[in-house]
A and B are shown apart, each in its own frame.
Chain A
Amino acid sequence: MSKRFNRRDVMKIVGGGIAGMVFTPIPWKLIDDLSIWTQNWSWIPVPLKGDINYKYSICTICSAGCPVRARNVGTQPVSLWGIKNHPVNNGALCPLGFGGHHLAFHPARLRHPVKIVHEKNKISTEKVSCADIISLIRKNIESKQTPQTGNLIAMLDDRPGRTVSYAYRAFLAQIPNGTYITTGTDETDSMQGLYEILGTENQEYGFNIEKARTIVSFGAPLLEGWGIPGRMMHARKNGCRILQVETRFSHTASVADRWLPVKPGTEAVFALGLANVLINENLIDTDKLSYQSANFDKELKNYKECIAGYTPAYVAGRTGIKEELIREIAREMTTETPSLVICGREPAAGPFSREEQIAIWGLNFLLGNIGPGNLIVPRRSVPAGASFSETKLASVKKISDLPDHSIRVLMIDEAESGHAIPWQLIERKLVADNPLVISMSPYLAGMTKRADYVIPAPTQYESCQDIPPSFDSQTATYAVSAPFYTPPENVIQPTEFLNRLAEDIGIEKTNGSYTDMIKERTAEIYEKKRGWIYIPHNGRLIETADVFTGQQFWSHLNNGGYWIDEPLEQADNYSISLFGISHDRGSFEKALRQIDKSYPSENTTYPLALVPFGWRGVVDSGPVTPLITKLYQETEFRKGTNRALIHPETGGFSRLRDGAQTTIVTDSGELQVRIEFNDSVMPGVVHVALGPDQDSITGVKEVRIKENILSVCSLKDNGTWRMTPARIGTV
């Protein structure tokens, strides 16, 4: 029997097929497979395979020197962690430290000496040999032998105290016009005011933060990576109170027990107001202070007269903090004891001037905080090592102390201070006519972009580095960052570069390799047989005297050990000067008057106060782990570069809307920013963020020098730029 296959049958088959499709898994499976096929590609990375092992070392991203435990696959670190209960930092690592193992592969990495070609704002590089760069420096040194301004051969090092710093100083001492400089933008510089009060340059001091019950912080980002970050975090966890004196509602101010939003530039006035209350309400222990300082009575009388005008009523008018609150804070400092006063600095806004520092640190003397057993304690210095103990060393100078246009050749050690450095601060010290700038950096980022030549240096965990004590450490400490990797072939250790240069110009080279120099330094520490060494493998603290040999001591340090000195029982004699040793009462009063009138509210051309802000370790535009985008770009938890925060009232006055693009205009120029209304900003103030440079996160094909807020800040002769009068321009 036959039947014709008609149109109806076709319809039935199609219809049945469609109905059947719903009940079969095939189409769903195909969709699923298709999505998987189109999602998986050969370039999706596969993690390394291999044995898992652990190694210990020290982070060198900043000067804190936090100990790390690296989890490795074979020899490759795949994660870094703090070491729990470590006596130096209590096991804390900052977000940047967590990504320290990424830096060796950073896209901005340089693996060969290069010449930088500047075309407008664009940068390109050409490979050169190390010998070419040496030859250029030699020619400059030979042709400029006369000791005069304009002929300086300078080395800029913002992490003095390392073994390499001593090598730089020894080298510079041998050449005519050799000058060793720092920018004075790091946290150590914020302590200079304290040393001025104590009249001592050779005695180092640190902080016994763990003992403080209250900390009055003048602008220090205490909970955002200040000093050794883990110490402050630990103190906070144990109930230490924080009173934050800062214009901006920073992260630290947000979680502080009290936020004291003083008008920008009036921090020192506020400090003098507190001193006034402490003295006039007899809140200071004069017996204790007389015992500590021989000239106390005379000094106090002078100081009392000097600050007599800074009554709470006057200070309230200048700072914007209520009169009664000023009294209350001063009383609180003597009841919630021991209380420590910290003069810090915002990482982007730069340091306080020396006079402001003196006014702030002086409170510690009135509170009886200085001296062994107190909150500001003396500590020993770490010896320089046999290579340098009897060698002539160039003295340490601050770049702002040099005359303008005085540097002919500038070599830059790119170890970051973690703080912003306006290029103008350096540029104005260079000769106008063809200066030579050489950077010793692993990356084409930060200040290196401004250099003429770059010697590629080893990066984090690629070479043996030493870590002198952080400025806040209460005793001397010393550690060695042991390498995990071998650096690429053409990477040159800065000391090796100096040796080649020394050989070329015919001066004495340093002895042995850089590791040998560090080894000599550890031998000198070991010889004193003082203090302890913390062994991370077993969490034990052993006495240095119990380590059998110097070799064993070195071996401990080279495996993540941390040497910690004994506390110093007695300090050098000091004679207090609450005006600072470089001032008399007259000059101090004059400086205070200058500070007092700096708030620009009466300036009609520039009615706003511009205060930059940023995060330590990121604002210097140096390379950071690309994962830092988790806190910036991907969440906007921290503000990116050129984001301007203003109070809505200020915005309304300037006829702006939230999110508008506009310009900030100052005497030094103008900059395009994006406005963000924020009602926690002080009216009349504009805070502009300095975030990571995109090149320093992910690297880009076309490297550019980008303008940021530092380029429009007015830089004072003393090297500060905390506040700039500004106005908001037109869109």
Chain B
Amino acid sequence: MNNRNKVTQDNQKHPRYGMVVDLDKCTGCGTCSLACAVENNQQPATPDMTNRTGNTWMRMYKVHNGKPFPDSRAVFVPMFCQQCDDTPCLYVCPQNAVELDPMTGIVAQIPERCFGCRYCMAACPYESRYFNWWDPVWPEGMEKTLNPDVSPRMRGVVEKCNFCHGRWQRARAKAASEGRRELREDEYIPACVECCPTEALTFGNLDDPKSKIAKLVDDPNIFKILGRLGTKPKVYYRTTRSWVRNAVDRNIYSETKETVHG
């Protein structure tokens, strides 16, 4: 709670990072999922892992318009931690393992504090938190390819997207070494944004009126998934198609099995 108040008080001084996902541009290539896994040292699946026990911070859904052949249409929806300002997972964590960073507005997960009660997973309306059911194991030798800026998490903790926090620290250190306090707009972007081949993802400081994202957020075609819950997510979605807006907001979880096709 204190953390959130700090953000509110200081938001003139510190950035408040957010993202816009343009669903009309996303082609469902899945590159963001892989780039996220590489950047954040997510382990590959063990043979017995399933779609319920997998660990994918950036998860792709294919949401259907519900009409049968030949009127079927679909949209691809990248889904990840929505970085809520009113953060349900933070409230329920008994260990203070969830932190709303006052410097960035990023909701961070601190694995060293987490003892795996999974209250936060139950509280998250976006199902964007993942429990590490297994020890993180890479095929022999492949551990050499891990990103040195991110520690692999241990078994028994919850993890999730943190807007590639390691990249923010790297960018901040670089800026500090050049005598700057503020980061340029392109200096810190998460891995998924960097790799998106159709530029469907836009990242930046929501509180900077000159930033690209701040202009995008004013677009009338912008919406927040489950916005009615009042969690104030900092991830926005954009589409010009009304059925996409309705289907994504209504169906993405409740009818996942029926609506997600390959």
Judge: A and B partners, yes or no: yes
Residue pair B34, A629 in contact (C-beta under 8 Å): no
Chain B residues with CB under 8 A of A229: 29, 197
Q: Does B139 contact A (CB under 8 A)?
A: yes
A221 to chain B, nearest CB (A): 11
Residue pair A95, B31 in contact (C-beta under 8 Å): yes
Chain A residues with CB under 8 A of B27: 223-224, 233, 236, 251-252, 255
B47 to chain A, nearest CB (A): 7
User: Contact mask A637-676 → B, CB, 8 Å, 1/0?
Assistant: 1110001010100000000000000000000000000000
Residue pair A78, B146 in contact (C-beta under 8 Å): yes
A110 to chain B, nearest CB (A): 14
Q: Does A368 contact B (CB under 8 A)?
A: no
Residue pair B54, A630 in contact (C-beta under 8 Å): yes
Residue pair A78, B147 in contact (C-beta under 8 Å): yes
Chain B residues with CB under 8 A of A162: none
Chain B residues with CB under 8 A of A224: 27, 29
Residue pair A254, B73 in contact (C-beta under 8 Å): yes
Q: How far is the CA of A249 from the CA of B262 in the complex (A)?
A: 9
Q: Does A678 contact B (CB under 8 A)?
A: yes
- Which of B135, B145, B147, B149 is packed against the most chain A CB atoms within 10 Å? B145
Q: Does A291 contact B (CB under 8 A)?
A: no
Using CB atoms, name the residue of chain B closest to A105: B141
Q: Does A176 contact B (CB under 8 A)?
A: no
Chain A residues with CB under 8 A of B50: 633-634
Residue pair B61, A637 in contact (C-beta under 8 Å): yes
Chain B residues with CB under 8 A of A476: none
Range for the number of chain B residues in contact with chain A? 35 or more
Q: Does B233 contact A (CB under 8 A)?
A: no
User: Contact mask B51-86 → A, CB, 8 Å, 1/0?
Assistant: 100111001111010011110111110000000000
Q: How far is the CA of A639 from the CA of B260 in the complex (A)?
A: 11
A619 to chain B, nearest CB (A): 13
Q: Does B206 contact A (CB under 8 A)?
A: no
Q: Which of A47, A234, A628, A697 contacts B41 (CB 8 A)?
A: A47
Q: How far is the CA of A93 from the CA of B38 in the complex (A)?
A: 13
Question: Given contacts A82-B195, A237-B25, are A38 and B156 in contact (CB under 8 A)?
Answer: yes
Residue pair B51, A627 in contact (C-beta under 8 Å): no
Residue pair A680, B38 in contact (C-beta under 8 Å): no
Range for the number of chain A residues in contact with chain B? 35 or more
Chain A residues with CB under 8 A of B75: 254-255
Question: Given contacts A98-B35, A699-B139, are A48 and B146 in contact (CB under 8 A)?
Answer: yes
Chain B residues with CB under 8 A of A39: 116, 154-157
Question: Given contacts A255-B28, A636-B51, are A48 and B144 in contact (CB under 8 A)?
Answer: yes
Using CB atoms, name the residue of chain A closest to B70: A261
Chain B residues with CB under 8 A of A237: 25, 197-199
Q: Which of B29, B45, B64, B149 contacts A233 (CB 8 A)?
A: B29
Question: Given contacts A631-B33, A679-B68, are A45 and B51 in contact (CB under 8 A)?
Answer: no
Q: Does B226 contact A (CB under 8 A)?
A: no
Using CB atoms, name the residue of chain B closest to A224: B29
Q: Does B115 contact A (CB under 8 A)?
A: yes
Q: Does A94 contact B (CB under 8 A)?
A: yes
User: Contact mask A43-66 → B, CB, 8 Å, 1/0?
Assistant: 111111110100000000000000
Residue pair A634, B72 in contact (C-beta under 8 Å): no
Within B135-170, the residues touching A (CB, 8 Å) are 135-152, 154-157
Chain A residues with CB under 8 A of B122: none
Residue pair A236, B69 in contact (C-beta under 8 Å): no
Q: How far is the CA of A322 from the CA of B26 in the complex (A)?
A: 29
> B-contacting residues of A (Cβ < 8 Å)?
31-32, 35-36, 38-41, 43-50, 52, 73, 76-82, 90-95, 98-99, 101-102, 104-107, 223-225, 229-230, 233-234, 236-237, 249, 251-252, 254-255, 259, 261, 320, 625-631, 633-639, 643, 645, 647, 678-683, 689, 694, 697-700
A73-B148, A102-B142, A627-B38 are known; give 9 further A-B pairs, CB within 8 A: A41-B154, A627-B42, A630-B33, A630-B54, A633-B50, A634-B51, A637-B59, A680-B68, A680-B69
- 11 A-B pairs, CB-CB below 8 angstroms? A47-B148, A48-B146, A52-B148, A92-B31, A93-B31, A95-B29, A98-B34, A106-B139, A249-B74, A254-B75, A680-B69
